[in-house]
């Protein structure tokens, strides 16, 4: 059996961490849904930057948009281009959405990363994008910054599906779940339905190991036992961090607080494993898939990881194996001089910065295309 189909049978939804116009025009996305049981798509500023800056797929549409509105800014043009893709992908995924009763079949669109520390700006842009896309299977992506928490709560209360992104720490995950539940409670109190709201908490995986492994390699100690401990933790902390968060998820969504919401039709806020491409060539290319398989979860895979799982994955339930060991491994970090909270805080800062730089590069690329002689000639032809 196709290993991707096995993941579905084990209760984990497979999403695709990539979007490009050619995927839609060629029918590729439709084939992934039909052949691999693909259940969703995620995007981010870096993905759109590579798609728009790295291909000519968008040139004709960009020329049309510029012709229709000569005064549109590069930011406005980008969102117009992105919304066209998001709407088309949402339409391909709509049967999945309907068949899953609004649990899967989602496509995500992120608010501008320059708003990561602007609660009101995030709320305003989230509402605007939701209205413009006008698809029930859209998720608005909001970074899990401290300022993002209030936006998450408000947008959930508005009835908007939210993908909480750039989540690295178990503590911030607790705060994200509280924001989700508070948003549902506020909406229910206002007499509004909550049975059609979906949300995922996108927990980043491989970036944690990349940071921690470097620190373990650089751990300076003359104590042989500590050196052995440091070596034993390499490639383990990202998975351990995720396993602990899943236990926290089960506790929160098994609570009486959520039960009252569930009786009104609320869904759980599933954990979504993001950044699951393996960055260390010494590790298996399916490491961050095969070690994190469990019910009511999502794994959004970049294309190379998706292909690798299809080719040689061996899925089985693993997410709740070795939970005590995972806690033990995390508790060992201070012994080798590593503060996991500080690491995850820095990763959040870096993540916001990476997306912001990709967004700036994207807008600059759009400006450059609009100024180029070839583009002007094509637009006027």
SS (H, E, C) the chain: CCHHHHHHHCCEEEEECCCCHHHHHCCHHHHHHHHHCCCEECCCHHHHHHHHHCCCCCHHHHHHHHHHCCCCCHHHHHHHHHHHHHHHHHHHHHHHHHHCCCCCCEEEEECCHHHCCCHHHHHHHHHHHHHHHCCCCEEEEEECCHHHHHHHHHHHHCCCCEEEEEECCHHHHHHHHHHHHHHHHHHHHCCCCCCCCCEEEEEECHHHHHHHHHHHHCCCCCCHHHHHHHHHCCCCHHHHHHHHHHHHHHHHCCCHHHHHHHCCCCCCCEEEEECCCCCCCCCCCCHHHHCCCCCCEEEEECHHHHHHHHHHCCCCCCCCCCHHHHHHHHHHHHHHCCCHHHHHHHHHHHHHHHHHHHHHHHHHHHHHHHHCHHHHHHHHC
- Residue 141 annotated in active site: yes
Q: What is the rounded distance in angstroms from the CA atom of residue 11 to the CA atom of residue 100?
A: 12
Selecting among 39, 103, 141, 369, the annotated active-site residue is: 141
Phi, psi for 353 (deg, rounded to 5): -65, -40
How large is the angle between the packed helices 340-371 and 45-53, nearest 10 degrees? 30
User: Is 216 inside any structural domain?
Assistant: no
How many domains are there within the chain?
1
Inter-axis angle of helices 119-133 and 146-157, nearest 10? 40
pLDDT, position 221: 65
What is the model's pLDDT at position 54? 84
Task: Answer yes or no: is 234 within a domain.
Answer: no
On whether residue 283 sits in a domain, the answer given is yes
The C-alpha atoms of residue 142 and residue 115 are separated, in whole angstroms, by 9
Distance from C-alpha of 311 to C-alpha of 291, rounded to nearest angstrom: 17
| Lookup: tokens for 5 | 């189909």
Q: What are the two backbone dihedrals, phi and then psi, of residue 113, each rounded to the nearest 5 degrees?
A: -65, -15
User: How far is it, in rounded angstroms, from Cα 129 to Cα 123?
Assistant: 10
In the block, residue with structure tokens 């009786």: 263
Supply 115's token pair.
């708003």
The answer to whether position 226 is within a domain reads: no
Q: Is residue 376 part of a domain?
A: yes
Quick one: tokens of 277?
A: 């491409």
First to last CA, the chain: 51
Domain that includes residue 55, residue range: 3-205+239-322+341-380
Q: pLDDT 10s digit of each residue in the chain, 381 long? A: 899 999 999 999 999 999 999 999 999 999 999 999 999 999 988 898 888 888 888 989 999 998 999 999 999 999 999 999 999 999 999 999 999 999 999 999 999 999 999 999 999 999 999 999 999 999 999 999 999 999 999 999 999 999 999 999 999 999 999 999 999 999 999 999 999 999 999 999 999 999 999 999 887 666 778 888 899 999 999 999 999 999 999 999 999 999 999 999 999 999 999 999 999 999 999 999 999 999 999 999 999 999 999 999 999 999 999 999 999 999 999 999 999 999 999 999 999 999 999 999 999 989 988 887 455 555 555
pLDDT at 373: 47
Angle between helices 237-252 and 323-332 (to 10 degrees): 120
Residue 224 in domain: no
* 39: CATH: 3.20.20.70
Instruction: Please name every residue paired with 167 in a beta bridge, in sequence order, or none if there are none.
Output: 203
CA distance 107 to 84: 12
Task: Judge whether 215 lies within some domain.
Answer: no
Residue 198: Cβ within 10 Å count = 26
**Domain-located, residue 217:** no
Per-residue confidence (pLDDT) for residue 315, from 0 to 100: 97
């Amino acid at each position: 059996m196709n290993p991707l189909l096995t993941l579905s049978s084990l209760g984990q939804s497979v999403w695709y961490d990539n979007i490009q116009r050619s995927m839609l025009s060629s029918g590729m996305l439709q084939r992934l849904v039909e052949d691999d049981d693909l259940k969703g798509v995620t995007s981010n500023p870096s993905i759109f930057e590579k798609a728009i800056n790295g291909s000519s797929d968008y040139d004709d549409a960009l020329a049309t948009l510029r012709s229709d509105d000569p005064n549109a800014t590069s930011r406005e043009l980008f969102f117009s281009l992105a919304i066209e893709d998001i709407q088309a992908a949402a339409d391909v995924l709509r049967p999945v959405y309907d068949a899953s009763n609004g649990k899967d079949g989602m496509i995500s669109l992120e608010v501008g990363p320059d708003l990561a520390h602007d609660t009101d700006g995030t709320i305003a842009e989230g509402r605007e994008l939701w209205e413009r896309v006008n698809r029930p299977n859209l998720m608005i992506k909001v970074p899990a910054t401290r300022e993002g928490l209030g936006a998450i709560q408000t947008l959930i209360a508005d009835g908007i599906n939210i993908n909480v992104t750039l989540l690295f720490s178990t503590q911030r995950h607790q705060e994200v779940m509280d924001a989700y539940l508070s948003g549902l409670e506020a909406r229910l109190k206002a007499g509004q339905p909550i049975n059609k709201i979906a949300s995922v908490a996108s927990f980043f995986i491989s970036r944690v190991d990349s940071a921690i492994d470097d620190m373990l390699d650089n751990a300076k100690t003359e104590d042989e036992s500590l050196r052995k401990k440091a070596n034993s933790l390499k490639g383990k902390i990202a998975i351990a961090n995720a396993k602990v968060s899943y236990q926290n998820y089960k506790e929160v969504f098994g609570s009486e607080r959520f039960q009252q919401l569930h009786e009104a039709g609320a869904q759980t806020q599933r954990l979504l494993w993001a950044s699951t491409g393996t960055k260390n060539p010494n590790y298996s290319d399916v490491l961050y898939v095969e070690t994190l398989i469990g019910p009511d979860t999502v794994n959004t895979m970049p294309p190379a990881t998706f292909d690798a799982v299809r080719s040689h994955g061996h899925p089985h339930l693993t997410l709740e194996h070795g939970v005590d060991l995972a806690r033990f491994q995390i508790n060992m970090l201070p012994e080798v001089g590593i503060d996991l909270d500080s690491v995850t805080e820095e990763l959040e800062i870096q993540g916001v910065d990476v997306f912001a730089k990709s967004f700036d590069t994207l807008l600059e690329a759009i400006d450059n295309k609009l100024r180029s002689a070839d583009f002007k000639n094509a637009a006027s032809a």
